[in-house]
Structure 1
Amino acid sequence: MMHWTFILATEAVETTVKEGGLFDFDATLPLMAVQFVILVALLNAVFYKPLGKAIDERADYIRKNIADARERKQKTQNLAQQLELELRDARRKSQDVIAAAQAEAQKVADAKIKEAQQEVQAEREKAAQEIEAQKAEAFGSLEGEVEALSNQILNKLLGAELVNK
């Protein structure tokens, strides 16, 4: 079988050589070139120009969106910086308010403590005076009793000596 393929291939080569070689440069070559140019122009007009236009519009749309996004990003960063500054200012003010409130609370607490200490001191002095008054009263009543008991003891001792003498 291999033998027959070689024979057919040689016969085909021999017929092409007799007719003008591998390439035949008659009127078909320029006709094919003109058909190719017409096909390229037709494809360009029908498919590639609308596609190119759509691609260009899409590229413009993307460029515009990127520019808008950059602008919005810049505005956002500026706004974030401004808000950060406002936040720092608000924190500082709130710390000042807290410090002032703590100082005021400390003053009020000190005043209440001082007032309570004065009340305690006054109560202590009043209690001390009452104790002194009760002590003096107790000494006064005890003196009378001591004197009466002393007299009774003396009477018993002296009365017994008077009776013994």
Structure 2
Amino acid sequence: MHWTTIVLATETAQEGGLFAFDATLPLMALQFVILVAILNAVFYKPLSKALDERDDYIRTTDRSARERLSKAKQLAEQYDKELASTRKQAQETIAAAREDARQIANGQIAEAQQEAIRAKEKAAAEIEQQKQAAMAELEQQVDVLSRQILEKLLGSELVKS
């Protein structure tokens, strides 16, 4: 710095000091108040309004999200209950179908066994009938052969009686 600048600053400080309390102070205060009013109207109020709207939007969205989450949880619980009920019904239906199939199979097996027994009895009866017929035929043949043998041995005149 030069000596002239320091001297000039010293002279200015001695005349009015750092602050001059003349008509400029109220004018500067008035300008400050006007600036604050303009900033408030142009900048702070719209900014405050935007921040309030954003807060309202966030609160509304948060409330809505909480309600949806709660509803989703309730629906999930309801679906889980319905799924458990459906599974239980399906298992009961499967068990009933298995029991029915087992009863049908047992009935068919019993019927097949009865039919096999009837077929066996019928076959045994046919065999017995054929046996009786064969025995009767054999008896006739034995009688005929016995008579022929007797006729040959004794003669035909003695056997006829």
Q: Name which of 33, 42, 49 aligns with 1:46.
A: 42
1:66-125 per-position Cα deviation (integer Å, ceiling 9, x unaligned): 112212221221222223222222222232222222222222221111111100111111
Output the CA distance in 1 between the equivalents of 2:118 and 2:36: 116
RCO higher in structure (CA 8 A, sep ≥6):
2
Q: Secondary structure at the match of 1:25?
A: coil
Q: 1:129/1:56 Cα in 2 relative to 1: closer, same or farther (>3 Å)?
A: same
Q: TM-score, normalised by structure 1?
A: 0.70
1:56 aligns with 2:40: no
Output the CA distance in 2 between the equivalents of 1:55 and 1:41: 19
Q: Name which of 112, 133, 137 aligns with 2:133.
A: 137
Q: Secondary structure at the match of 1:24?
A: coil
> Deviation at 1:142?
5.0
Structure 2 matches for 1:62-77, cutoff 5 A? Answer: 62-77=58-73
- Which residue of 2 is the match for residue 16 of structure 1? 9
> Deviation at 1:130?
1.9
RMSD of the TM alignment (CA)? 3.0
Query: What 5-or-longer segments of structure 1 have no aligned partner?
Result: 1-5, 159-165
Counterpart amino acid of 2:58? I
Q: Name which of 25, 47, 63 aligns with 2:19.
A: 25
Q: Secondary structure at the match of 2:48?
A: helix
Output the CA distance in 2 between the equivalents of 1:96 and 1:14: 109
What is the percentage of aligned positions where both structures have the same residue? 48
1:4-40 per-position Cα deviation (integer Å, ceiling 9, x unaligned): xx5xx3332222122217x731245554444233212
Question: How many residues are matched?
Answer: 145
Output the CA distance in 1 between the equivalents of 2:123 and 2:6: 144
- Which residue of 2 is the match for residue 118 of structure 1? 114
Q: 1:131/1:31 Cα in 2 relative to 1: closer, same or farther (>3 Å)?
A: same
Q: TM-score, normalised by structure 2?
A: 0.71
Output the CA distance in 2 between the equivalents of 1:13 and 1:142: 167
